[in-house]
């Protein structure tokens, strides 16, 4: 097919196994790992884990991505929609709290088909970069219960520098607005696990606290209390950033406290991390 599903609309030719576009992927989903995962927010991971499906390739390919080995290389196993649906059933049998689709935008047609073949009895989580098009979100409408988007940047110049996405801010804000329209405000079960809603994630980058503070201000102004916010300090130098003069280190306690202070002053509800989360031990093994 000639692809225009993501915001880049690069018009690339994609066959089942070969892609010439920005994401470098064919149309069949390529999966790097399927397993219960315990590193998400408490209301997503719980005690039994989140049933994560990590897709390879990406429409962002951030230069600092902690999943760099699979986001910048399409490594893993190609699965049909029917095979994906069977994987959801296997994860459910493991007792996971939800099915968590991580970075699936570029495979959206096949992923939507897999969910039509089998809609899990547990919530479906759509875990994405925020750089998501209306076309993709229309495909997911009625199939997704929880959206877990990033809001990475408040500055398009920084988005262009680190993710080649000069239209990131407006695109992500519009996407999150549609996500909220589809699933509404957060709802939880008696077990305190999330059943529906939106959690907006923001990762603090070293030397870029202004970007983070402005991002939180935008979230408050645009969405108020409709979504939860997950403020993340887990950045570690990875990919191209290991020797970068600005991004070649973890964030400091002072940087984290400065952004957390803004989170609290804005009255945003959600989650924060401990600084110890900035460790490569939390990066999964890509073993499928």
User: Can you give the pLDDT at residue 288?
Assistant: 63
Q: Among the listed ranges 149-158, 197-206, 213-222, 231-240, which one has the minimum average pLDDT value? A: 231-240
Average confidence score pLDDT of the chain: 95
* List of domains in the chain: 33-282 (3.20.20.70)
- Kindly tell me if the per-residue pLDDT of 282 is higher than 70: no
Written as six digits, the tokens of 125 are: 């989580």
- Kindly tell me if the per-residue pLDDT of 287 is higher than 80: no
Query: What is the C-alpha to C-alpha distance for residues 240 and 262, in angstroms, rounded to an integer?
Result: 30
For the residues 28-32, what does the mean pLDDT come to? Answer: 96
User: Can you give the pLDDT at residue 28?
Assistant: 97
Predicted TM-score (pTM) of this structure: 0.96
Q: What are the tens digits of pLDDT across the range 90-148?
A: 999 999 999 999 999 999 999 999 999 999 999 999 999 999 999 999 999 999 999 99
Angle of CA points 29, 165, 37, to nearest 5°: 45
Q: Which residues contact 181 (CB under 8 A, 6 or more apart)?
A: none
- Kindly tell me if the per-residue pLDDT of 66 is higher than 90: no
- Kindly tell me if the per-residue pLDDT of 232 is higher than 90: yes
């Amino acid at each position: 097919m000639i692809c225009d599903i993501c915001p880049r609309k690069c018009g690339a030719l994609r066959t089942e196994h070969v892609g010439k576009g920005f994401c470098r992927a064919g149309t069949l989903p390529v999966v790097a790992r399927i397993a219960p995962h315990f590193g998400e927010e408490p209301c997503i991971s719980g005690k039994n884990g989140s049933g994560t499906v990590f897709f390879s390739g990406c429409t962002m390919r951030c230069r600092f991505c902690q999943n760099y080995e699979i986001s910048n290389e399409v490594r893993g196993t190609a699965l049909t929609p029917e095979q994906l649906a069977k994987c959801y059933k296997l994860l459910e049998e493991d007792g996971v709290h939800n099915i968590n689709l991580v970075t699936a935008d570029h495979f959206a047609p096949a992923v939507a088909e897999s969910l039509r073949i089998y809609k899990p009895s547990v919530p479906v989580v759509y875990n994405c970069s925020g750089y998501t098009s209306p076309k993709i979100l229309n495909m997911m409408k009625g199939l997704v219960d929880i959206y877990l988007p990033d809001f990475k940047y408040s500055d398009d110049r920084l988005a262009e520098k680190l993710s080649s996405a000069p239209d990131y801010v407006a695109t992500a804000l519009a996407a999150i607005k549609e996500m909220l329209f589809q699933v509404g405000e957060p709802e939880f079960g008696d077990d305190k696990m999330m059943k529906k809603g939106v959690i907006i994630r923001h990762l603090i980058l070293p030397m870029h606290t202004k970007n983070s503070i402005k991002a939180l201000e935008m979230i408050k102004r645009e969405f108020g209390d409709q979504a939860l916010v997950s403020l993340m300090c887990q950045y570690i130098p990875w990919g191209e950033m290991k020797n970068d003069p600005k991004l070649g280190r973890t964030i400091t306690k002072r940087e984290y406290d400065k952004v957390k202070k803004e989170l609290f002053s804005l009255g945003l509800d959600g989650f924060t991390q401990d600084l110890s989360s900035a460790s490569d031990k939390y990066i999964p093994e890509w073993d499928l």
